[in-house]
Amino acid sequence: MQTALHILALVTELKRDAVGGTIVSTEYYKKERAAFLFIKNGKSVSALGLVFHPAGAGCIFAPARKVNPDTREKPWPIFGLDGATITDISLPVLDRIFYLSATKPETNESLQVAFEAIGPNGNLWLLDSEGNMQGTLRNRDYSAGQPYEPSPLPPDRLNPLEMTVDDLRDFLHDSDHTSLLNALDRNILGFNRTMALEVIRRADVDFVEPSELTDDDIAGLHRHCRDMAARFQNPETGYLYQIRGGLEAYPFKLKSREEQPEKFKTLSLAVLELIQRRQVSREEESEQQTVTQAVARAVKRLEKRITKLEQDIRQAADYDKFKKLGELLTINRDRIKKGMERITVDDVYAEQPDPIDIALDPALPPQENIEQYFRKYRKGREGLELLERRLEISHSELDELRHMQAELERDYESARPRYAAEISSLLPKEAVKRESAPRLPYREHTLSTGLTIFIGRDGSDNDRTTFEFAKPYEFWFHTQQCPGSHVVMKFPNKSFEPSRLEIEETAAIAAWNSKARNDSLVPVIYTQRRYVRKPRKAKPGLVTVERESSVMVEPKKPA
């Protein structure tokens, strides 16, 4: 999706090549969810397009010959704009909403068109010269004559073209940010995750916590933020990248990416190619339907697991009963015959011996029927605590999954990016493209209680596992003063508290994935990830730790 900075670049192109031109025709393809204004300026004809299709959305300005919707649908005209002369293109604030001002020569009537370049929710609004609403491209509720008022920008966002070094310093020091990457991604206007990472790489502050930034670090970040944003003010070339399974376009090369991008004459042409490729690759079933179905299946699986666990707990909680029944059957073994479904025996353990009816499996011989009850007894005795812990974790996972399901149902477009990692793990393998599933720096393992841990592979993979895939409140494990894997205990939610069993089991696996694997007892430290730091210019995998606890364990290979 284009950011506010991409729209700034588009407005720059339009001011240069569209102002003074005449709108010779307009086309709206309702099924394709695309609208185009064809503008003649001099001898050339260009197309200003707004595409709000879920498979690929964006706003572009390109030669008319490049725009050729693959559809038999008859286009509709837009707002009666044919023949109007474009007098201005404006972007009042750094946002994804810009305005085209035009005049109709035959009536000398002035009007405006508001372009909401906000992805699949995009729209066009026809406004009069006073900025009052007169029409809408899509079916939106409005009162004719009322002022057009776009949604206000978040008040705490920083404008990269206007912010000072002090603004950035105050923002980074005064707020509780989980990471520098998230802070820049979510709080600087026009930025996304890729641009935030690019600024961090250019400023050479990888793995540095916001609270640890020096004045020189912040000055470097400020300079690179301003420089990168300024590149959108005068775009000369477009570059198309394949990033995290999707396509992204920028007016400059990314130093944070090793692969060579595709080059286009303009940023708009790169965006147009991005839109067209996304739409061609769209499957018959919409992504939203695929995702919601996958989440619903996951909810059902968890509900079934919980039902089974509750059933097992009920049986395990009464495990002494199975021992008693097994012993009574042992006393009466000679009376049991294969094929019997029940047997009535005297309850010799009761103060007043009463007959007791015991169910049998007719397919099993006598001794197997007896052993079946003793197995239920052992399972209950040994597994009750474990079952209860699994149930607790499963309930937490179900709560989180239902919350995600509700968010997706309420506002899919904004919720989908926030839950990208969780959704990816739920989708069928055939629905996850190879490029959207890059090599992960960790191996995943499930503890006996059902809790998930990530085991870093080595070196820089350890760094990525710790600083990219662990949340600040989750537990981090490592053998004490011994090379080994970084191990992260994933929590179902922020308030989760791991049990002693889970800590010891994770520590044992961390010990196994270290050079102390063959020792009988190994000290392992653990702490919240927020207390793990990466020293400047440290070797891959080397970190410093604060507020750690330790536990002595025997190394254990993950099952």
Q: Which residues pair with 49 in a beta bridge?
A: 36, 60
The three-state secondary structure class of 218 is helix
pTM: 0.55
Task: Provide the 10 A C-beta neighbour count for residue 396.
Answer: 17
Q: How far apart (Å, rounded) are the C-alpha atoms in residues 66 and 536?
A: 49
Report the pLDDT value the prediction gives residue 297, as an integer from 0 to 100.
94
β partners of residue 60 = 49
Amino acid at 96: R
**Contact at 8 Å (CB) between 235 and 267?**
yes
Concatenated DSSP letters of 353-373: --EEEEE--TTS-HHHHHHHH
Main-chain phi, psi angles of 453, to 5 degrees: -130, 150
Q: Which helix (H) or strand (E) holds 109?
A: strand 109-116
Q: How far apart are CA 142 and CA 148, in angstroms?
A: 9
Residue 436's Cβ-count burial label (10 Å; 0-12, 13-18, 19+) is: middle
**Residues with Cβ < 8 Å from 114, sequence gap 6 or more?**
97, 98, 99, 124, 125, 127, 148, 150
pLDDT the model gives residue 286: 64
Using a 10 angstrom Cβ sphere, with 0-12 exposed, 13-18 middle and 19 or more buried, the burial of residue 166 is exposed
Every domain of the chain with CATH number 2.30.310.10 lies at 4-136
Identify each DSSP E strand in 322-425 by its residue range. 342-346, 355-359
Tokens representing 451 are 């809790």
Scan for tokens 């397009």, then name that residue: 49
- Tens of pLDDT along the chain (559 residues) come to 799 999 999 999 999 999 999 999 999 999 889 999 999 998 899 999 999 988 889 999 999 999 888 778 899 999 999 999 999 999 999 999 999 999 998 888 999 999 999 999 999 999 999 999 999 999 888 888 899 998 888 788 899 999 999 999 988 887 677 789 988 998 999 999 999 999 999 999 988 888 888 999 999 999 999 999 999 998 889 999 998 878 999 999 999 998 899 999 999 999 999 988 887 655 444 678 888 999 999 999 999 999 999 988 887 777 788 888 999 999 999 999 999 999 999 988 888 878 999 999 999 999 999 999 898 888 777 778 888 899 999 999 999 999 999 999 988 888 888 888 788 778 876 555 444 456 789 999 999 999 999 999 988 899 999 999 999 999 999 999 999 999 999 998 888 999 999 999 999 999 999 999 999 999 999 999 999 999 988 999 999 999 999 999 999 998 7
The arrangement of secondary structure in 290-407, i.e. its CATH architecture, is: Orthogonal Bundle (1.10)
* CATH code assigned to 4-136: 2.30.310.10
Tens-place pLDDT, residues 274-290: 988 887 655 444 678 88
Distance CA(496)–CA(111), nearest Å, equals 57
Long-range contacts of 10-13 (CB under 8 A, 24+ apart): 10/59, 10/60, 10/61, 10/98, 10/117, 10/267, 10/268, 11/89, 11/90, 11/91, 11/98, 12/232, 12/233, 12/234, 12/235, 13/61, 13/235, 13/266, 13/267, 13/268
The tokens describing 72, both together, are: 């038999």
Q: What is the pLDDT of residue 132?
A: 95
Partners of 46 in the β-ladder? 39, 63
Alpha helix (H) ranges present in 213-318? Answer: 215-231, 267-280, 287-317
By three-state DSSP, how is residue 398 classified? Answer: helix
Structure tokens at 130: 């006073």
Alpha helices per DSSP H over 103-214: 165-174, 180-187, 193-203
Element (H, E) at 134: strand 133-136
Contacts of 342 (CB under 8 A, 6+ apart): 357, 358, 359, 360
Alpha helices, H only, 248-286: 267-280
User: Any idea which residue has 């011996």 for tokens?
Assistant: 353
Tokens of 181: 């990457």
| Beta-strand relationship, 475-479 and 442-446 | unpaired
**Which residues of the chain are in CATH 1.10.287 domains?**
290-407
Count of residues for the chain? 559
